[in-house]
Amino acid sequence: MEAEQSSGAAGQALITLSGVDKSYRSGAVEHPALRALDLSIAAGEMVSVVGPSGSGKSTVLNLVTGIDRPTAGTVTVDGYRIDQMNEEELAAWRGMRVGIVFQFFQLLPTLSALENVMLPMEFARLGNAKERADSATEKLQMVGLGDKLGRVPSELSGGEQQRVAIARAIACDPVLLVGDEPTGNLDSETAVRMFDLLAELNGRGTTVVYVTHDNDLAARAPRRIALRDGRIDKDG
């Protein structure tokens, strides 16, 4: 797994999608999700992605995180042609370089909040057990859950589970943080606080890309990309 180009400097492209098509097949029927999409996002940017249901928003996120592969075209992220990586390479790359906040949390139900946040560090083999626990504690304190370290997901509210998911996403200090409705299950006050955290991380150099249906939340990003029918409708 070798990088095509160096990454990290603000202003350089961290994400480049070139001529990307993505179709999903259901039986004999093919459903196009993205059509000849060209997109570049610079390192250090904060970008919101909006559009109606079925416009391709989540597909873009899945492509830049390597969860999906393009039907045609190329996907380069952090200097790597991730569309050419095998699953093992993708898992290693994603674990070290990308943080993902899923819409439905995807926390492991038998693990505590602390253990859920430690998990990415364990997969990436970062530090020893004490260092991982200390770092995970710090991340949970950042999202206001320093007093819930030992709670399992069923003992947390939906908003608290989402905050654990955000803490887990930033566990390995990723260069890219991707969110699919990252504040969608939070009350308005907590959502503002969580967005402020994302903005703070962006201010430290983390590239942040998130999908949202919330127009106010979308407007807080310096750049907003609107998709329609698998194409970029507006970019500004």
Q: At residue 14, does pLDDT exceed 50?
A: yes
Q: Is residue 71 part of a domain?
A: no
Q: For all residues of the chain together, what is the average pLDDT?
A: 90
- Give the span between the Cα atoms of 160 and 36, in whole angstroms: 39
- 228 in any annotated domain: yes
Q: Tell whether 208 is covered by a domain.
A: yes
Structurally, how many domains does the chain consist of? 1
- Does 92 reside within a domain? yes
Report the DSSP pairing between strands 46-50 and 72-77: unpaired
| Mean pLDDT confidence for 30-39 | 93
124 occurs within a structural domain: yes
The whole-number average pLDDT for the span 42-56 is 94
Domain CATH code at residue 94: 3.40.50.300
Segment 65-102, tens digit of pLDDT: 999 999 999 999 999 999 999 999 998 898 889 999 88
Q: How far apart are CA 153 and CA 112, in angstroms?
A: 7
Segment 34-59 mean pLDDT: 95
Which domain, by its residues, includes 124?
Answer: 48-55+86-235
Task: Give a yes or no: residue 108 inside a domain.
Answer: yes
Residue type, 8: G
CA dist., res. 72 & res. 163, Å (int): 36
Residue 102 lies in a domain: yes
pTM for this structure? 0.86
Average pLDDT over residues 28-38: 91
- pLDDT of 141-171, one tens digit each? 988 899 999 999 999 988 888 889 989 999 9
Identify the band that residue 116 occupies on the pLDDT scale cut at 50, 70 and 90. Answer: very high
Give domain status of residue 7, yes or no. no
The residues near 107 (Cβ < 8 Å, ≥ 6 apart) are 116, 153, 161, 164, 165, 168
pLDDT band at 7 (very low <50, low <70, confident <90, very high): very low
